[in-house]
Amino acid sequence: MKRTTPLRAAVAALLLTVGLGAAHAGAANAAPLPDPAATAPPASAGLLDAMRRDLGLTASQAEERLRAEKAASAADKAARQAVGGAYGGSWFEPGTGRLVVAVTDRAEEAAVRALGADSRLVRHSAATLDRAKARLDTLRAPAGVASWHVDPRANSLVVTVVRAERNAPAVREFVEKARSNGPVAVTVAETAEAPRTYAAGTVGGDPYYTGNVRCSIGFSVHGGFVTAGHCGRAGAAVRGWDGSAMGTFQGSSFPGDDYAYVGIHSGWWTVPVVLGWGTIPDQLVRGSGEAPVGASICRSGSTTHWHCGTVLAKNETVNYSQGAVHQMTKTSVCAEGGDSGGSFLSGDQAQGVTSGGWGNCSSGGQTWFQPINEILGRYGLTLHTA
């Protein structure tokens, strides 16, 4: 950032103190130091507080869940490689604290269990499910269709429709086309409202601005930050939280995708943290390991600050009024106007940038994010990590 607040200065001083302290201890004592990762909490106190509030967990339960989810993420990556084409998707079960991996070949179940995960035998592989969804993505959806995604638990596709529009002829026609699209079963779910993006007009806070739109920074990358594509087009100028010139949108995509990259001017700098807006400690970002379906997840934005929930679905196509956006992750986290572009984290791992949703943080709702690793790959960026 361009200017240093007391909170940001404290974070910088803490990082420097920790680094110098470790170096001094190493010089004074040749004995090996304990691994900080083994004793440090898996996330900041602020993020753990948000998990306790929104997920109904105790402090120890929140820490235990984050550690289990980190292990599940590693197991999922290994399982994909181990079972190959038999991989049918995966999800995290909070009740057991374990990952469940679906496979199409019974002979591969032992390989999954050897990795510390549970297995489930299914009919369709993840590749088959993804192809079925890709065919569905070619259809034009009416406004009454909110989204569609692969459900690994049910080994099927789910089409979510707006409750009041369920029996509209155009919605029924879309569902019938989906069901005639191949061997994969299609089920229908309902949502209370149609999805919308979370950009907002200029108001106060700690945001960034483009034109008369306020959005939230997602994650620092070397050279700038990533955010939502609907917040600004390539070439648009960006003003910082203090109103001064901050940078320019170097790339942006919406609809189809909902991501963007902002390059920052000299005088501004990036840090591997997600801001707590002065109410909770900032959260350090240490990587971008992808959390599985069922994992806890938290979001930070300039309007509603910290809120938590769970990952509900991946690779979902969301049908905004401006057009469909693909490969989104759906969560039970709430958001409101101005939160667009903000950070989704699982523990200290970056997950994605806020796109849109329905509801609010008073009555509840659901929010989608564009996965961070897709954005990094699209623009050839490197996440700034601690």
Q: Residue 88: in which H helix or E strand, if any?
A: strand 87-93
Neighbours of 75 (CB within 10 A): 22
**Which one, of 318, 364, 15, 246, lies nearest residue 352 by Cα?**
318
Mean pLDDT, the chain cut into blocks of 10 residues (386 residues total): 43 33 36 51 78 92 94 96 98 97 98 97 98 95 96 97 95 96 94 85 60 93 95 96 91 98 89 74 89 95 92 98 97 96 93 96 96 98 95
- Would you state the pLDDT for residue 39? 56
13 vs 33: CA distance, rounded Å: 22
- Side chain identity at 219, as an amino acid letter? F
Catalytic positions, please? Answer: 230, 258, 340
- Would you state the pLDDT for residue 9? 41
- Would you state the pLDDT for residue 268? 87
**Which one, of 39, 116, 126, 42, lies nearest residue 72 by Cα?**
116
- Would you state the pLDDT for residue 7? 39
Neighbours of 277 (CB within 10 A): 18
- Would you state the pLDDT for residue 269? 87
Sketch out the chain's domains with CATH numbers.
68-121 (3.30.300), 126-194 (3.30.300.50), 195-386 (2.40.10.10)
3-class SS at 231? helix
Taken in order 309, 310, 313, 315, is the CA torsion positive or negative?
A: positive
- Would you state the pLDDT for residue 27? 36
73 vs 167: CA distance, rounded Å: 39
Specify whether the CB–CB gap between 106 and 123 falls below 8 A. Answer: no
Structure tokens of 272?
């591997």
